[in-house]
Structure 1
Amino acid sequence: MELHISLQGSKGLAEQLYQQLREGIDSGRLAAGTQLPPTRLLAEQLGVSRKTVAEAYSRLTYDNLLSGKVGKGTFITPASTRLAPAGPAIPLASAATLAKWRSRSNLLADLAPSTLRYDFIGGASSKAQFPFDDWRRCNQYALRQIRRGSARYAAHQGLPELREAIARHIAFARGVRCHSSDVLVCNGAQQALDLIARILIEPGCRVAMEDPGYTPARQLFLSQGALLQYVPVDDQGLCVEQIAEGTRLIYVTPSHQFPLGMPMSLARRQALLERAAALGAIIIEDDYDSEFRYEGRPTDSLQSMDRHGLVAYVGTFSKTLLPELRLGYAIVPEALREAICVAKQLTDWHTPTLNQWALARFISEGALLKHIRRVHEVYAARRERILQRLQGDLAPWFEVIPATAGYHLSALTKGGLEVEFLINMARKVEVGLYSLAPFYAQAPVRSGLLLGFGAIELLDIDPALDRVRDTLQTLG
């Protein structure tokens, strides 16, 4: 890659080169540690004599801005990186809009990687369970496919091979009714939510969602200008009868309500579909972690019950595999398909094909189902141990909300226990606990904890909960 230098005329070339390099170094555009081209190479690129380049380099070295390393080359010295002085701030015409975006709190994004010894954070999986050897082999296959292909952009909806693999997998695992043409591959479930919101929401239109609910979805809809209705939930799920007239979009997590955990009853699902049909509203079914089910019979997805093309089913591989892969998908009703493909193209054209090829191979050779079965046993053991403790020595302080799927549990507090105080005290003994309160948009807020068990090892659960119990006993 050539160094960008622009020389004018045929006189004072060494001075021009010196000044441009000096400005690049002083401004920080040329960062400390950057290697400059050899004098002969830069002279050829600029069409000047080698002596001209050597003179500019010599002056910069004298100024302690460059240093030479024998056998390696010429580098910008670390002490030379300086930022250009900032001028007076100019009021931006977009200041009010920027302020709105800064005000969009995102609880999950604000959770920094924990340094605590024990952590019950939700939505995180254990890397110790990830099949790195299988994934490495699939990545090697993906590289071979890319090498054989043309150097062009891929299809907006995703690789046909991956879309076909996803359609087969969710038909088997979740009973979703779809063809590969219905599948849109996304950068995680969050992009799927964003794309659906982009094509359906206009400023002032009404969107209904659960309260408590998934905070990033709430902030996303608000950022699109939606008029949000926060619909309460009970032990059967969303209170469908409270959905207002004029609602255009309904967001739900029916298989494992986020964050409380209970599944939506069959009667409530049917009522929701009927209400959506009467309104002409699209339902987003966020099925984020229900592939891990521990008790009871499987429940039908809303999408499999839909007879009018109103349900957009959103899934993710962040829970079954790793969040860092950024792989998710949406099963899109036919009425939305053309519009959402346009939105996907305008957003990022397509999801990176390397991961797409690798995941297609990973699914088609059965590695995904094998991995899910293996980690299901791991999560089931962790879940059972937490339940035993919550229903045992921790029962005086907590009441578990029944949940049959996923890898977090929620527990309500008893006896006026102050959750935030408990959380702060637990952190002092190296235990990470998390409140349900931030997931509520409106009062009344139910006091309780969200206890994730995806990232905490089985052998760490008892020592962690022992510390919680001892803290609670100390608090009286």
Structure 2
Amino acid sequence: MSISIETFFLDPSAVGTLQARIQQMVAQGILAGRFRPGERLPSSRMMAQHLGVSRITVTLAYTELVADDYLTARGRSGYYVSDNAPEPPAFAMQQTQTGTVDWTRAIGQRFTPALSIEKPTDWANYRYPFIYGQADRTLFDTANWRLCALRALGMRDFGALTADYYDGDDPELVDFISRQTLPRRGILANPDEILITMGAQNALWLSAQVLLNSRRRAAIEDPCYPAMRNILMQSRCQLSIVPVDQDGLPPDALSDDIDVLFSTPSHQCPTAATMPLDRRKALIAKGEAQDFIIVEDDYEFEMSFLKPPSPSLKSLDPHGRVIYVGSFSKSLFPGLRLGYLVGPAPFIKEARALRATVLRHPPGHIQRTVSYYLSLGHYDALIRRMSRAYHDRRQVLDAALQDSGLVVAGQGQSGGSSVWVRTPDGTDTTPLAQSLRAKGVLVEPGARFFAGDAPPTEYMRLAYSSIPASRITEGVRLIAAALTKNAA
């Protein structure tokens, strides 16, 4: 029996090459039980005509399906569903009925809201994307990243690709971080003091889980990264909210009963304020005097194009009470989800054990690819390229903001990738951001970064990491015009 050509169509929303989409289309039909063993598929010529693709594309897709034993080729007769193809479930699929479970009672813990941050997935289609933390494809070194990924797929690295490290990490990546990355921040660490994580957020979660319980108190900046606040609320620890000023977190504002402090001294999130050296030293001294641990999120230190970055808190700490969090998400791309924790061996041992119970370790292939990208010098070249671009964009943005009359409430002294803007009193930047979308402008409202039920509504974050310098001035003009219209 032949399968009707009319049953085949390509999903326009599917991703991947035409060949991959054709393979997926046929495989899904077999797995769903719609195509059965022994049934004949349309010829490659007929399928190509029907789908509007080249015949060679269909032939290659059929060949791959034969290799995977979904199809079998019978001489000049054509392609048939293989007798050895995966079989659909033997039981009838049932629609979920309205049940008797009261999920408001059954759920033991609640984790919503999640990130509390909304970023449109099609942000790159907007003409003026002042959006934070996304990769700029015009700056990224795609060719060398591809070469490193292919090298990591080779037989020489078969172990790194396929091995279960259990609770371990790629020794080559750990070695590079230890000998090259950390010394640039003034940090010396042994391999047993470094843990690879699934990004900085995973590192912060591990830190909170290891260091806190319901009897301990954590201090956090306000405003701050919303996910950090959620992590601490989910840990059920006692929480102190500490307002920041133009120099970041003020040590004198810390209470005497905290056990752990979470801070972003290099580029305060989201104000981008840089903590001065004397305040950093005072914070270290206060931590020693009051015996609390400091978790330093140093997420953007590479973007220091105006002047050298300030010393990390970890480098100023002679007592080993600073836990350091680093990430490759901002300097490479956020989808990489790779970061690292640095701390005393007893802490890293516990964080490693906790990570092993949740995800064992980040994928070995990703770790080895990053290791090659770092060790071959591609990473440093990328940082230099990004720094030059960010320097130019920052100059254009500063001039545009000054001309428009918008007030810069915070910006990194050494660089960074965003500025914190305060709009006129009474402005609500959340509906403002919605109205600007219609004009192709993306901005981040600031209210979500603050704690409390009545956060300030006048702030917004403008990032310049993903917008060309040539579009910044016009984008700022549109923001200023919208504010003027809103005030009227």
TM category, shorter: 0.7 to 0.9
**Percent sequence identity over aligned pairs:** 28
Question: Aligned pair 1:181/2:189, yes or no?
Answer: no
SS at match of 2:323: strand
Amino acid paired to 2:451: A
- What root-mean-square deviation, in Å, do the aligned CA atoms of Structure 1 and Structure 2 show? 2.9
Quote the offset at 1:123 in angstroms: 1.6
Amino acid paired to 1:183: I
1:431/1:88 CA distance change after superposition, 3 Å: closer
Quote the offset at 1:179 in angstroms: 2.8
Q: Hey, what does 1:382 align to over in structure 2?
A: 393
1:333/1:446 CA distance change after superposition, 3 Å: farther
1:431/1:441 CA distance change after superposition, 3 Å: same
* C-alpha distance in 1 between matches for 2:484 and 2:98: 57
Question: Aligned pair 1:266/2:277, yes or no?
Answer: yes
Amino acid paired to 2:434: N
Question: Aligned pair 1:321/2:332, yes or no?
Answer: yes
* C-alpha distance in 2 between matches for 1:148 and 1:88: 48
Question: Aligned pair 1:431/2:447, yes or no?
Answer: no
* C-alpha distance in 1 between matches for 2:462 and 2:96: 47
- Residues 176 and 303, structure 1, Cα contact 8 Å, conserved in 2: yes
Q: Hey, what does 2:52 align to over in structure 1?
A: none
Question: Aligned pair 1:401/2:410, yes or no?
Answer: yes
- Residues 206 and 227, structure 1, Cα contact 8 Å, conserved in 2: yes
SS at match of 1:237: coil
Larger deviation: 228-237 or 435-444? 435-444
Q: Deviations over 1:111-170 (max 9, x none)?
A: 544353321111222122111111111112211233256953126241111001112332
SS at match of 2:465: coil
* C-alpha distance in 1 between matches for 2:173 and 2:101: 48
Query: How do 1:89-238 residues align onto structure 2 when only pairs under 5 Å count?
Result: 89-91=99-101, 95=105, 97=107, 100-102=110-112, 104-108=113-117, 112-114=121-123, 115-144=125-154, 145-147=156-158, 151-154=162-165, 156-238=167-249
Amino acid paired to 2:437: R
Quote the offset at 1:108 in angstroms: 2.6
SS at match of 2:221: strand
1:350/1:270 CA distance change after superposition, 3 Å: same
* C-alpha distance in 1 between matches for 2:206 and 2:386: 31
1:231/1:473 CA distance change after superposition, 3 Å: closer
Q: Hey, what does 1:250 align to over in structure 2?
A: 261
Quote the offset at 1:204 in angstroms: 4.0
Amino acid paired to 2:331: T
* C-alpha distance in 1 between matches for 2:168 and 2:220: 27
SS at match of 2:371: helix
Pick the aligned partner of 2:81 from 48, 53, 73.
73
Amino acid paired to 1:178: A
1:82/1:471 CA distance change after superposition, 3 Å: farther
Quote the offset at 1:355 in angstroms: 1.1
Q: Deviations over 1:417-447 (max 9, x none)?
A: 4423432331221211111111000366372
TM-score by length of 1: 0.79
Q: Deviations over 1:384-413 (max 9, x none)?
A: 111111111x11x43342422311111112
* C-alpha distance in 2 between matches for 1:223 and 1:241: 27
Larger Rg: 1
Pick the aligned partner of 2:470 from 452, 459, 465.
459
Query: How do 1:279-318 residues align onto structure 2 when only pairs under 5 Å count?
Result: 279-318=290-329
1:232/1:34 CA distance change after superposition, 3 Å: farther
* C-alpha distance in 2 between matches for 1:86 and 1:95: 20
Question: Aligned pair 1:84/2:76, yes or no?
Answer: no
1:444/1:349 CA distance change after superposition, 3 Å: closer
Unaligned runs of 5+ in 1: 1-27, 40-68
* C-alpha distance in 2 between matches for 1:347 and 1:418: 40
* C-alpha distance in 2 between matches for 1:236 and 1:96: 45
Quote the offset at 1:34 in angstroms: 6.4
TM-score by length of 2: 0.78
Question: Aligned pair 1:339/2:347, yes or no?
Answer: no
* C-alpha distance in 2 between matches for 1:123 and 1:380: 17
Q: Hey, what does 1:5 align to over in structure 2?
A: none
* C-alpha distance in 1 between matches for 2:312 and 2:342: 12
Larger deviation: 175-184 or 374-383? 175-184
SS at match of 1:260: coil
Amino acid paired to 2:174: R
1:111/1:202 CA distance change after superposition, 3 Å: farther
1:38/1:111 CA distance change after superposition, 3 Å: same
Unaligned runs of 5+ in 2: 1-27, 40-76
Q: Hey, what does 2:371 align to over in structure 1?
A: 360
* C-alpha distance in 1 between matches for 2:177 and 2:161: 24
1:157/1:94 CA distance change after superposition, 3 Å: farther
Q: Hey, what does 2:64 align to over in structure 1?
A: none
- Residues 192 and 345, structure 2, Cα contact 8 Å, conserved in 1: no
1:167/1:322 CA distance change after superposition, 3 Å: same
* C-alpha distance in 2 between matches for 1:113 and 1:276: 44
Quote the offset at 1:281 in angstroms: 2.0
Quote the offset at 1:367 in angstroms: 1.1
- Residues 296 and 325, structure 2, Cα contact 8 Å, conserved in 1: yes
- Residues 133 and 334, structure 2, Cα contact 8 Å, conserved in 1: no
Quote the offset at 1:249 in angstroms: 1.4
- Residues 161 and 365, structure 2, Cα contact 8 Å, conserved in 1: no
